[in-house]
Amino acid sequence: MATLRCPLIAGNWKMNLDHLQSIAFVQKLGWALKDAKYVESNVEVALFPPFTDLRSVQTLINADSLPFAFGAQDLSMFDDGAHTGDISGLFLKALECSYVIVGHSERRADHSEDDAIVAAKSRAAIRHSLVPIVCVGETAEDLETHGAAKIPVEQLTKVLEALDAKDNYVVAYEPVWAIGSGQAATPDQANDVAAALRETIAQVHGSERAEATRILYGGSVKAANIASLMKRPDVDGALVGGASLDVSEFSSIIQFPKHVTLDS
Ligand code: PGA
């Protein structure tokens, strides 16, 4: 973790927690962090609830001045019109979302989203001043055939070519084989691919942009492995799925600087 880049811990709830459950969850997380004397400036926390929860989460965060950013798990590549079931970046911005996840491997697999679609969605995010968290990652088969970095680098290159060096974006390296499997990449594996992704950003958008860009790791992140991941120089945070649904586990992940020396 480089000191210049503020670490980002992002909780991807996927299709879990309805709007009432989301309110209870966010309240409990706020209390847990307050009890733990969490200092907001050290780590940025962002929550990614389902679309139907966003208004409730926004209202609660604003009313209680909770130290959380929030965003959506997807957006349309279009701004408005005849796109039944899709959600515009305009609507997300109106709900004060800061971020939006694009190209998650579950969207790529369940909705056949290819790199061109992910690039168009990233552009849509930027158009509405949302920071896209661009997800890339190799399957177990890709890993076997090409090694770890080739596919994520190709996926990211296609998105970067559609963006500008001045655009604000975050990258999430999420090996598909590590998502929900309980088998996280080792800190060295995660760092090697993050370094290759940073090098790709340097090639396409220049070294200044590469140095400033946060690269997250995602895939079976837990309180027990976050500290060792965050010790690596190119890992600037985590995109957390399953463990972000458990208040005490997620609040412990957010407080990784406290246990960074216990685990390596
Ligand atoms: P996981 O999911 O933490 O449950 O492995 C991560 C993700 O899909 O973003």
pLDDT in tens, 153-189: 999 999 999 999 999 999 999 999 999 999 999 999 9
pLDDT tens for each residue of 26-61: 999 999 999 998 877 789 999 999 999 999 999 999
Instruction: Decide the pairing of beta strands 237-240 and 44-48.
Output: unpaired
Q: Is 174 a catalytic residue?
A: yes
For residue 3, is pLDDT > 70? no
The pLDDT value given to residue 263: 47
> What b/e string do you get for 128-162 counting C-beta neighbours within 10 Å, with b at 16 or more?
bebbbbbbbbbeeebbeeeebbebbbebbbbbbeb
Q: What is the mean pLDDT of the chain?
A: 95
Q: Please count the other Cβ atoms lying within 10 Å of the Cβ belonging to residue 195.
A: 16
Q: Please choose, from the candidates 9, 131, 133, 2, the residue with its C-alpha nearest in 3D space to the C-alpha of residue 67.
A: 9
249 lines ligand 1 (CB under 6 A): no
Alpha-carbon separation of residue 259 from 44, 127, 173, 229, 262 (angstroms): 17, 39, 23, 12, 5
Does 263 or 120 have the greater pLDDT score? 120
Q: Which residue of the set 106, 113, 174, 249 is catalytic?
A: 174
Task: Report residue 260's pLDDT band, with 50, 70 and 90 as the boundaries.
Answer: low
Instruction: Map tokens 């985590």 to a residue.
Output: 238
109 lines ligand 1 (CB under 6 A): no
Ligand 1 atom closest to the CA of 106, numbered from 1? 8
> pTM for the complete prediction?
0.96
What's the gap in Å between 229 CA and the centre of ligand 1? 15
Q: Averaged over 7-26, what is the pLDDT? A: 98
Distances (CA, A) of 101 to 65, 198, 257: 23, 19, 25
Check if 44 has its Cβ closer than 6 Å to any atom of ligand 1: no
Closest ligand 1 atom to residue 219 Cα is 5
CB-ligand 1 contact for 241 (6 Å cutoff):
yes
Q: Is the pLDDT of residue 152 over 60?
A: yes
Q: What is the pLDDT averaged over residues 232-261?
A: 94
Q: What is the mean pLDDT of residues 197-223?
A: 98
Q: How far apart are CA 114 and CA 117, in angstroms?
A: 5
Closest ligand 1 atom to residue 135 Cα is: 9
Average pLDDT over residues 76-95: 98
Query: Can you give the pLDDT at residue 97?
Result: 98
Longest dimension (CA), the chain: 53
Pocket probe mutation, ligand 1, options 99, 171, 179, max atoms within 8 Å of Cβ: 179
Q: What percent of the chain has pLDDT over 90?
A: 94
Structure tokens at 142: 């890709």
Domains of the chain and any CATH numbers: 8-258 (3.20.20.70)
User: By three-state DSSP, how is residue 232 classified?
Assistant: coil
pLDDT at position 264 is 46
**Strand stretches in the chain, DSSP E:** 8-12, 44-48, 69-72, 99-102, 131-136, 170-173, 215-218, 237-240
Q: How many CB atoms lie within 10 A of CB 45?
A: 24
